[in-house]
Every structure is written in structure tokens, then in C-alpha cells.
């Protein structure tokens, strides 16, 4: 049965027009940013040692990283098998990253195995710790499962900009304004033992969650600290 004209139009919009137009706007806006990397040695040390890495960030702040990490290919990203995941997977593919479909509830084991195989083949791993719908700032167990299966280090990947736009979404999603100064900061690596379970697993999860929160807060304070701001910019 052939799709209706309305369905054909939706397919055209969501698979071709919206993603490409949206990414064009992202690239144009991102090209105006004054970007600085902080604690880059944390990233380079892990890559030198392990050949791969797990970039962990909040959903709220991932916008400045879209074009920055597009230059750090290949990157594999675990994406849910939901309808929204299909759209996100298409965008990830356009960026040149490797979408891997699966989650903790649907297709999780197959997705994790694929992530492991790709990491052993030199792919880096990107993961939004509280996505796609929150709660905001909460590190979900999936991040630790990826680290356990792959054996790679979790490196908190922090982005901060001065005076960003904040949208009325569940996490107050932020987009730096044109010509903003933007910081991308790499936290210290965290390895998760493969046999970690129960209370020890939960303590590890909370430790990573608190560490990321403190790193975001400390990085945001740079904008009100003239000495630290001048050192970077």
C-alpha cells in the first residue's frame, strides 16, 4: 500500500528538510563561538591509554558540542528504539557519527554489545547521561553499563557559555547566543568495574552524578571570575 500524500510530506520534512536545515543553522551559529578547551589532558591521556573514551554530558548543555565533536569522529551513540530515536538516529548519521539502536528497556543487550565492538575498533562513545527526557542532571544506569561492557573510561564532558538562551523544556535546554565565549571542559576519567552491582553500583552512580554537577557549577563560575576568565580568553 502506497503512503498517503500527507505521510509522504511528513517523511520529506522529518528525514530531509528539518535535519539538514537544522544542522546548517547549528553550523552557522557554532562558527561564531569563541571556544576554549579546559583540562584537555584528561581526554588525551585516556585516548592514549585506551584508544577510546566515553564522553558523558547533560542533555541541557550538548548544543555547543555538536560541531566540536563532529571533528572527533568516529563516535558511536546509543539511541533508543522509540519513534523519536528514529529521528535522532537520522541526524546522528548525517553528522557522520555511528547511531546504535537500543536502550536499557528495548534492545539493550544487543546495543551494548555493538557499542563494545565499536569501541574496540577505535570508535569513541558519546552519551547523554539524563536523556532523552530526564530527570534533569540525573545519571542513569545506562552510562555505567556502557562503561562496564566496553571497559572504557567515563570522562565528564562539560560545556558552559556566558548568557545562553534557555528554552522552556524539561531541562531548560541551553543554546549559546551568537559570538558567545564557550568552554568545553574534560573531567577526570572514571572506570567502572565490570562486576559492580547493587549498593556499590548505586554509590558509583551517585559519585559520578555529583562529580558532574560540581564540574558544571565550577565551570559556570568562571564567567563571574575575572582572573579565570582572562586566563582562558
Range of the domain at 129: 5-232
Output the pLDDT for position 11. Answer: 64
Whether the per-residue pLDDT at 3 is higher than 80: the answer is no
- pTM over the 0.85 mark: yes
- The full 3-state SS of the chain, as one line of letters, equals CCCCHHHHHHHHHHHHHHHHHHHHHHHHHHCCCEEEEECHHHHHHHHHHHCCCEEEECHHHCCCHHHHHHCCCCEEEEECCCHHHHHHHHHHHHCCCEEEECCCCCCHHHHHHHHHHHHHCCCEEEEECCCCCCCCCCCCHHHHHHHHHHCCCEEEEEEEECCCEECCCCCCCEECCCCCEEEEEECCCECCCCCCCHHHHHHHHHHHHHHHHHHHHHHHHHHHCHHHHHHHC
Per-residue pLDDT tens for 142-161? 999 999 999 999 999 999 99
pLDDT at 88: 80
pLDDT at 120 over 70: yes
Quote the number of domains for the chain: 1
* CATH code of the domain containing 179: 3.40.1010.10
Rounded average pLDDT over 6-13? 69
Amino acid at each position: 500500500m502506497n503512503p498517503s500524500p500527507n505521510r509522504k510530506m511528513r517523511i520529506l520534512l522529518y528525514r530531509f528538510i528539518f535535519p539538514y536545515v537544522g544542522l546548517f543553522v547549528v553550523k552557522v551559529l557554532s562558527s561564531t563561538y569563541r571556544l576554549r578547551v579546559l583540562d584537555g589532558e584528561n581526554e588525551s591521556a585516556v585516548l592514549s591509554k585506551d584508544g577510546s573514551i566515553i564522553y558523558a554530558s547533560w542533555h541541557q548543555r550538548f548544543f555547543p558540542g555538536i560541531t566540536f565533536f563532529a571533528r572527533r569522529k568516529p563516535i558511536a551513540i546509543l539511541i533508543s528504539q522509540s519513534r523519536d530515536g528514529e529521528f535522532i538516529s537520522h541526524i546522528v548519521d548525517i553528522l557522520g557519527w555511528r547511531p546504535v539502536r537500543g536502550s536499557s528497556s528495548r534492545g539493550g543487550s544487543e546495543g551494548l554489545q555493538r557499542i563494545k565492538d565499536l569501541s574496540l575498533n577505535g570508535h569513541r562513545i558519546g552519551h547523554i547521561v539524563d536523556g532523552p527526557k530526564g530527570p534533569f542532571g540525573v545519571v542513569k544506569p545506562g552510562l555505567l553499563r556502557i562503561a562496564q561492557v566496553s571497559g572504557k573510561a567515563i570522562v565528564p564532558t562539560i560545556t558552559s557559555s556566558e548568557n545562553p538562551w534557555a528554552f522552556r523544556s524539561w531541562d531548560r535546554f541551553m543554546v549559546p547566543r551568537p559570538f558567545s565565549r564557550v568552554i568545553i571542559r574534560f573531567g577526570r576519567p572514571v572506570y567502572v568495574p565490570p562486576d559492580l552491582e547493587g549498593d556499590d553500583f548505586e554509590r558509583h552512580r551517585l559519585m559520578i552524578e555529583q562529580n558532574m554537577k560540581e564540574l558544571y557549577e565550577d565551570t559556570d563560575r568562571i564567567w563571574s571570575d575575572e582572573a579565570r576568565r582572562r586566563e582562558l580568553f
